Copies of this chain bind each other. A is one copy, B any other.
Amino acid sequence: MSLLVAGSIAFDTIETPFGKRARILGGAAVHFSFSASYLTSVIAIGIIGRDFPKANIDLLTKRGIDTSGIVHAKDDTFNWSGRYVGDMNEAETVEVNLNSFGTFKPKLSPTHAATPYIFLGNSHPLTQLSVVEQATSPKLIVADTMNLWITSARKDLEKLLSRIDGVVMNDGEARMLTGEHSLVRAARALLKHGLKLVIIKKGEHGALAMTPDYTIVVPAYPTEAVVDPTGAGDSFAGGVMGYLALAGELNPGTLRKALRYGTVTASFQVEDFGLERHLSLGRADIEQRLIHFEAMT
C-alpha cells in the first residue's frame, strides 16, 4: 500500500569530524521518502522555496517518489546548519531558518488524502493534526516529534497522540514526555494515550517497539564508521513504515521485519553525508544487508 509523509524539505549545511557539506538536500520528508522508497510507493508532502533547484525534485522523482504535493513558496527553502563533534551523538545547531516551513499547513489532494499509511515528520503538533484531519481512509498514522513541542506545546501534542496510531521518538524525548526513566515504562505510558504502536529509537543502540500486546527489541546494525548522523532517525522511520505499508498489516512478524528494514536503511544513511550513500544503492543492497543483519542477530 502507498505511504504518505508530510514533513520538512531542507538545505542542510553539515560539519562532522569526517568533512563538511554546504546546502545539501535534507529534511525529514526527504530522508524518510528515500528510505521508504526501497519498499513501497511514497508520496512526499512539503514546502520548498524559490532557491530550490529542479534537480533536487528530480532526485526524488527518479526514486519513484510522488512530488506533486510539494508546494512552492515565494521565500527561501527551510535551511539548517549544524555540526557534530566528539562521539557525534547530538548535533549542535549553528543556524536555522524556517522560512515558509514555519507556517506551512499541508493541503492534501483527494487522492493523497486517501493514502492508507501516513507518517507525520517532526513539526508543530497542530500542523501534524491538520494532516490527520484530512486523511479519508487511514490505516496507520504514525508521528515523530521533538523536545521543543514536548515543552512548548504539550497539550497539542497530547491531542495529536489521541488521534493517531503510533509514535516514533528517541529515548530522550520519550523520557521527557512521560517522566519515566525506564524506556519500558516510558513506552507503556505512551501506549496509554490510546496508541497501538510506540517505537523508541536509541540511536546507535537500536530500538524498542511496544504495542498493547507485545514488545520487540532490535539491536543497531554494527556500523564501522558513522560519517554523518543527519537523517538517521527519519531514514529508520522510512524503512519501518515502508515495510509496514508493503506488508499491509501490523503484527509481531511484520513489525519485527519492519524494524530490521529501518535499521538497515538507517545504517546506510549514516555512511555518508546527506543522501550520498543512497545514490549508489538499490533494493538488492537493502535486502543483502538485511540478510547479513539477520545472520548477526
Within 8 A of B (CB), among A164-213: 181-185, 202, 205-206, 208
Q: Nearest Cβ distance between residue A257 and chain B, in whole angstroms? A: 12
Stoichiometry, as copies per complex, reads 2
Contacts of A224 in B (CB 8 A): 182, 184-185
Q: Scan A9-46; emit 1 where CB is below 8 A from any B CB, else 0.
A: 00000000000000000000000000000000000000
CA distance A214 to B222 in the complex (A): 12
Once bound together, how far apart are the Cα atoms of A183 and B225, in whole Å? 9
Interface size class of A (residues with CB under 8 A): 20 to 34
Q: A87-B181, A181-B87, A297-B297 are in contact. Are A217 and B222 (CB under 8 A)?
A: yes
Contacts of A181 in B (CB 8 A): 87
Given contacts A205-B205, A205-B206, A206-B206, are A183 and B222 in contact (CB under 8 A)?
yes
Question: B296 touching A217 by the CB < 8 A rule?
Answer: yes
CB of A219 within 8 A of chain B? Answer: yes
Residues from chain B with a CB closer than 8 A to the CB of A120 are none
Chain A residues close to B by CB (< 8 Å)? 87, 181-185, 202, 205-206, 208, 214-226, 252, 256, 295-297
Q: Which 4 A-B pairs have the closest CB atoms?
A: A205-B205, A217-B219, A219-B219, A184-B224
Given contacts A202-B205, A216-B297, 7 further A-B contacts (CB under 8 A): A183-B222, A185-B225, A205-B205, A206-B219, A214-B296, A215-B296, A217-B221
